[in-house]
Amino acid sequence: MKTAALIARYLLGLIFLVFGLNGFLNFIPMPPPSGTAGQFVGALFVSHYLTVVLLLELIPAVLLLINRYVPLALTLLAPIIVNIFLFHAFMDASGLPLALTVTVLWIIVAVSVRPAFAGIFQDRVQS
């Protein structure tokens, strides 16, 4: 399991590093999506909201690749992965396989650092 978690962590970090940098440098040309997906991405781009999202992809990607603050990196990536998954599930199904892959990689890494999240899953707080 350690080897699988290590590979998953590197792959997850690499995926978010490449796609996060691509958002700024545009070295992988992608046609803009059409329909509702295009309107959604257009609104994110015009409002500069996408810049924040891309930074929130890059920072955790680097943390995963250098094996520092991995639980923090996973916490920052979780809502981004949920949004990526939902975007592809409801608006642009062509990217759904990659979204599912990223979700599975996130789960593998999260299980490997599960003790770091023990405090979140307490049903009652000690006073």
pLDDT tens readout for residues 17-39: 999 999 999 999 988 888 999 99
Chain-centroid distance, C-alpha 37: 18
Residue 23: C-alpha distances to residues 41, 53, 56, 63 (Å) = 12, 10, 12, 19
Look at residues 54, 49, 45 and name the one whose alpha carbon lies nearest to residue 18.
Answer: 54
For the purposes of burial, counting CB atoms within 10 Å of the CB of 29, is it exposed (0-12), middle (13-18) or buried (19 or more)?
A: exposed
Whole-number pLDDT of residue 111: 96
Residue ranges in the chain modelled with pLDDT below 50: none
What does the alpha-carbon distance between residue 118 and residue 74 come to, in Å, rounded to a whole number?
A: 14
Look at residues 101, 105, 106 and name the one whose alpha carbon lies nearest to residue 79.
Answer: 106
Whole-number pLDDT of residue 32: 85
Whole-number pLDDT of residue 30: 87
Whole-number pLDDT of residue 93: 93
Whole-number pLDDT of residue 96: 96
